[in-house]
Structure 1
Amino acid sequence: MIVITAPTGQIGSRLLDLLLDEAPARGEELRVIVRDPRKLPDTVRARVDVVTGSHGDAEVVDRAFAGADAVFWLVPPAPRAPSLEAAYSGFTGPAAKAFVSHGVGHVVGVSALGRGTPVAGRAGQVTASLAMDDLIASTGVAYRALASPTFIDNLLRDVPSIRDHGVFTDLVTADRAAPMAATRDIAAAAAGLLLDRSWTGTGEVPVLGPEDLSPNDLACVMTDVLGRPVRYERQSLDDFRAALAGRGIGDAFVQGYVDMMRAKDEGLDDGVQRTPGTASPTTFRQWCGEVLRPAVLTE
């Protein structure tokens, strides 16, 4: 039995599709934890066991982890949480206890790059995510943290600006090259670990994408693929802070985002070498052609 949390999100929904294709042939049953089962396609609901509720709730995870061999763990956004610790380790606490009480053998979690870098202790959400990894590892379960950089798919937030003004924004230096990964590659890495549970102990599995790119590089690729000029505008941290607060995001998460983006510009994602084992396959150009271009042209 494999349990998938956050099955309707960007990563969880892709992971669920992959497991539905492969798990039955391996004799694996699938269970999902979801707040609103209506968000699952009818064809999916018919093929999985559904536990309704939040996976931050002790009673919910107690039901969901009964008989579980492996769990995919992803903490959902909590923009109004009182602290980053509450949003990550606090949310994960009930599950960590349930891993032990139900004898769950393997857990795969979505986390972040940065461990061991000079800025890891002051990187907002990344710092909190690494502390969550430590909490899960302390239970004794076999654990792999998918250490991810910035998601390529985050650029979908800029589709209206790219379409209407030929502009996308971020907070890093225009020529700073860094790894980026497609969410589908993170889901594929999770599927591989959940289906082949021959691994033991705890550790990180970096998912770095195939290349480091700067915002200027991204602009060039988007210009080429979209057939229209696209340029990068660097947003100030003060403007970023004000925009987040204007969307109703709480003080703790606003400060966390600011700290994380500052740390990224100071090299947070630079600490892991790209190798055949850490590179993931989807190029930015491929993603632009398959995902961004249709979104821009159909919006």
Structure 2
Amino acid sequence: MGKLLVTGATGNVGRHVVSQLAEAGLEVRALVRDPGRAGLPVEMAQGDLTMPETLHPALEDVESVFLLWPAFTADGAAEVVEAIAKHARRVVYLSANAADEPGTHYHEIERLIRNSGLGWTFLRPGGFAANTLGWAGQIRQGVVRWPYGAASRPLIHEKDIAAVAVHVLTSGGHGGAAYVLTGPEQLTQAEQVRVIGEVIGREVRWEDQSPDEARDRMMAAWGDPAFVAAALRTWEGFVAVPEPVTDTVERLLGRPALTFRQWAADHAADFS
């Protein structure tokens, strides 16, 4: 097997992809902005997906790429995909379950990859359990105020996303597949908060926040009006129609997907 390049290598998913590939004894290179601060146990190449000209040295002798796009738009993605196609044979792209919706950057990047001549596999996770880390400050105070407490999703542990990525990168039969990945159980947002409280041994209440109030708060944190509007629409939709559970993780890995309670236990220190 040829060398593997991991982008987003210091993030929630990418760091696990790097460590799991390294533990398997495979030849891994991590694309990072600052090798001196990344602290990864593999070869590192300095580069930035927002500056496609920096990618060519990192792609030398690379056969497969794990691609995690760092922005809410597809600006610059065409140049990045073109650079990957000049060097590698295959890309595993961490997309999203929203990729079937035209107009999203996920949809556009998938289109670019499909037309690039690369072999490809798309990983389309639903809600990330790690997104609930945004409530950490409120959880420490004992009350989470957020909109749509009844919105229900089967949140996925980042370790499972990474494990699927590693499986796909290191085995055959995944060319042209788009895998929808979820956790094993649907929980409302209010239930997610309750589980976190139980794991850390602290009573935490949920209080529904109005969408208008939440919009102002989310704009201050995220700064992208389209992304904020899409997030609010998504949560509102999951009140009436919960996000479906898939068995993809179990089918690919031969074990059940990790539960949200397991995720909360892994991250208990982040809420304490």
> TM tier, shorter chain?
0.7 to 0.9
- Residue in 2 that maps onto 1:227: 201
Quote the offset at 1:159 in angstroms: 1.5
- Distance change (3 Å), C-alpha of 1:158 and 1:271: closer
Quote the offset at 1:35 in angstroms: 0.9
Aligned length in residues = 265
Match of 1:69 among 59, 63, 74: 63
- CA distance in 2 between counterparts of 1:34 and 1:183 reads 19
* Residues 54-82 of structure 1: per-residue CA shift (max 9 Å, x gap): 123232222222221100101124xxxxx
Q: TM-score, normalised by structure 2?
A: 0.86
- Distance change (3 Å), C-alpha of 1:260 and 1:135: farther
- Distance change (3 Å), C-alpha of 1:280 and 1:168: farther
* CA RMSD in angstroms, aligned pairs only: 2.5
- Distance change (3 Å), C-alpha of 1:194 and 1:269: farther
- Residue in 2 that maps onto 1:171: 147
Output aligned runs, 1:46-61, within 5 Å: 47-48=42-43, 50-61=44-55
- Residue in 1 that maps onto 2:220: 246
Contact 2:181 2:246 in 1 (8 A): no
Is 1:94–2:79 an aligned residue pair? yes
SS in 2 for 1:70: strand
- CA distance in 1 between counterparts of 2:145 and 2:37 reads 31
Please, which runs of 5 or more residues in structure 2 have no aligned partner? none
SS in 1 for 2:10: coil
Greater RCO, CA 8 A, separation 6+: 1
- Residue in 2 that maps onto 1:37: 35
With 200-209 and 137-146 compared, the bigger mean Cα shift is at 200-209
- Distance change (3 Å), C-alpha of 1:171 and 1:280: farther
Q: TM-score, normalised by structure 1?
A: 0.79
SS in 2 for 1:31: strand
Output aligned runs, 1:107-256, within 5 Å: 107-116=91-100, 120-121=101-102, 127-164=104-141, 166-172=142-148, 174-196=149-171, 198-199=172-173, 201-247=175-221, 249-250=222-223, 253-256=224-227
Quote the offset at 1:210 in angstroms: 1.0
Q: Percent identity?
A: 26
Contact 2:154 2:245 in 1 (8 A): no
